[in-house]
Amino acid sequence: MADGVDFEGLVTCHYQPLYQFAFSLTRDEADACDLTQQTFCIWAAKGHQLRDETKVKTWLFTTLHREFLGARRKQVRFPHVELEQAAAELPVVSPTPLHQLDNAQVLAALAHLDEIYRAPVALFYLQDYSYLEIAGILEVPIGTVKSRLARGLDRLHQLLTGGSAIGSTAPRTDL
Amino acid sequence: MNRDEAKNILLLYRPGTADDADPQIAEALALAQRDVELARWFGEHCARQEVLRAKLRQIPVPAGLKEQIISEQAARRKDFDWRRLPALAAIAAAVVVSFVLITPWLQSLKSDNTLAVYQNRMVGTALRTYVMDLATNNSGSIRAYLGQNHAPADYVLPAPLEKVAVTGCAIESWQGMKVSMICFSTGKPLAPGEQGDLWLFVVDRAAVKNTPSAGPPRLARVNQLMTAVWTQGDKLYLLGTQGDEQTLRRYL
């Protein structure tokens, strides 16, 4: 049981990566803060049910992702699009060498990815999670994770540089 | 395995991780050692992965988030100590009449919409880098904006607070209700990026449990802010600033 996990220590260890994951999903600071906070609230209420303490981190990421999907479903029912959010839907502009891009451009490209690719790609880069762990967090089969990652990474690369990561659709000019 | 197949497989490879334990990746890596063109592509690919990974990991985490999470949890725990639940349940089971009597009390303790949680949430909003919906020094414009957007606009300011310059407002959300956040600048130099140093939150009183009855403001430190809470009419007011009790009393 994870009863013995110290709440403050748990927050200290995990709030930053959780926030970064939340931000990569929502691209909104307030929403990401709320998602992170909500995740720890759920931990405080239900975390004692977790039997294996080594799974705490995965549990937190899974919970955050579930909360995101839940909130997203509500937003889809009552869509509210602001100009700043709509801007994220616009195509990323001219191809740029990767090392010249700033964080905001990378995040904008990530936000432009279809939602089913965004979460695995974020986990892939932010946490170095294995495919099996990503599959566990997102609650999908490992084969699905791999195919979503492959498509997501290729699409992300196209958005950032104008060429495919595989290199078959456009010549490599980046880096 | 040919070169294109190897590229597809290596697309998911991250240098410095356990990815090379995957048999398919190991096979593709072996091919990259023999194939010059694949090796060149792979070198570029690894560099790209590093750049993307580094950029995404630079997402800044708002200052005060950790403290906010911890203090909100502490406030919840204060409102409801779960360790007492078995004892309360035992008493309730043994004495049915007592159970009936304390049920409403238990329900009020269980809910998340208590004053302590509200205070923590609003203080957290003020401490984070919030975005003002309307930036203006005109208090009339603020009332008009809040009114148009169905947020509390008919608030009554304490006389000293009337004299403080407003800088704008935002509409926050609490339990599905709109909260008017009015930002003031007391005249002290503001840190870069800050849009105010005194914040007033106004919400419908019914949206928060355990609100104080009419009377003088209650002062308490919440997270990094000194706060004052009071009710007037059907509104609950929360004023917060960095500083001590004396500093805050100047605006009440």
Q: Is the CB of A125 inside 8 Å of chain B's CB atoms?
A: yes
Cβ atoms B179, B173 nearer than 8 A: yes
Cβ neighbours for A66, distance < 8 A, ≥ 6 positions apart = none
The alpha-carbon gap from B182 to the nearest alpha carbon of chain A, in Å, equals 17
Nearest to B69 among A36, A103, A110 (CB): A36
pLDDT for the residue numbered A16: 92
What is the sign of the dihedral through the CA atoms of B228, B229, B230 and B236?
A: positive
pLDDT at A67: 87
The domain that holds A148 is classified in CATH as 1.10.10.10
Residue at a domain's end among A80, A104, A135: A80
Per-position b or e across A109-123, b if 16+ CB within 10 A of its CB: bbbbbeeebbbbbbb
Burial of A47: CB neighbours in 10 Å, binned 0-12, 13-18, 19+: buried
The answer to whether A41 contacts B18, with C-beta atoms less than 8 Å apart, is no
The pLDDT score that the predictor gives to residue B164 is: 93
The residues near B247 (Cβ < 8 Å, ≥ 6 apart) are B226, B241
**Domain termination residue (choose one: A80, A95, A117):** A80
Question: For residue A168, is it within any domain?
Answer: no
Which residue numbers in chain A have pLDDT < 50? Answer: 1, 76-95, 168-175
Q: Is residue A48 part of a domain?
A: yes
Output the pLDDT for position B132.
83
User: Do A71 and A100 sit in the same domain of this protein?
Assistant: no
Residue A17 within a domain: yes
CB < 8 Å from B in window 84-123 of A: 98-99, 101-103, 106-107, 110, 122
Q: Are residues A67 and A9 in the same domain?
A: yes
**Within a domain: A95:** yes
Q: Which of A174, A28, A175 is nearest to A111 (CA)?
A: A28
Regarding whether A159 and A94 lie in a shared domain, the answer is yes
**Does any domain span residue A94?**
yes
CATH number assigned to the domain comprising residue A75: 1.10.1740.10
pLDDT tens digits for range B152-164: 999 999 999 999 9
- The number of domains in chain A is 2
Q: Cβ of B119: how many Cβ atoms within 10 Å?
A: 23
Whether residues A71 and A1 share a domain: the answer is: yes
> Which of residues A42, A62, A80 is at a domain's end?
A80
Domain shared by A57 and A9, yes or no: yes
Residue A107 falls inside a structural domain: yes
What pLDDT sits at residue A168? 45
Give how far B188 is from chain A: nearest CA, Å: 26
What global pTM score does this model have?
A: 0.57
pLDDT digits (tens, 9 = 90+) for B78-105: 655 555 566 666 766 665 555 555 555 5
A151 in reach of chain B (CB within 8 A): no
- With CA atoms as reference, the chain B residue closest to A126 would be B57
A29 in the same domain as A8: yes
- The alpha carbon of residue B152 and the mean position of all alpha carbons in its chain are separated, in whole angstroms, by 20
Q: Which range of residues forms the domain containing residue A143? A: 87-163
Q: What is the structure's pLDDT at A50?
A: 76
Q: Identify whether residues A18 and A56 lie together within a single domain.
A: yes
Residue B237 C-alpha, separation from nearest chain A C-alpha, in angstroms? 22
Cβ atoms of A143 and A111 closer than 8 Å? no
Q: Is A83 on the interface with B (CB under 8 A)?
A: no
Are the C-beta atoms of residues A73 and A24 closer than 8 Å to each other? no
Per-domain boundaries in chain B: 3-56, 65-249
Query: A126 and A106 in one domain?
Result: yes
A49 and A120 co-located in one domain: no
Q: Which residues of chain B have pLDDT under 70?
A: 76-89, 91-112, 129-130, 192-193
Do A1 and A67 sit in the same domain of this protein?
Answer: yes
pLDDT digits (tens, 9 = 90+) for B41-72: 888 888 888 888 888 888 888 888 888 888 87
**CA–CA min distance B252, chain A (Å):** 29
How far is the C-alpha of A85 from the C-alpha of A15, rounded, in Å? 24
Kindly indicate whether the ipTM for this predicted assembly is greater than 0.85, answering yes or no: no
Q: Given an 8 Å threshold on Cβ–Cβ distance, is B69 in contact with A19?
A: no
Could you tell me if A155 and A105 lie in one domain? Answer: yes
| Category of B73 on φ-ψ map: left (φ > 0), alpha (ψ -120 to 50) or beta | alpha
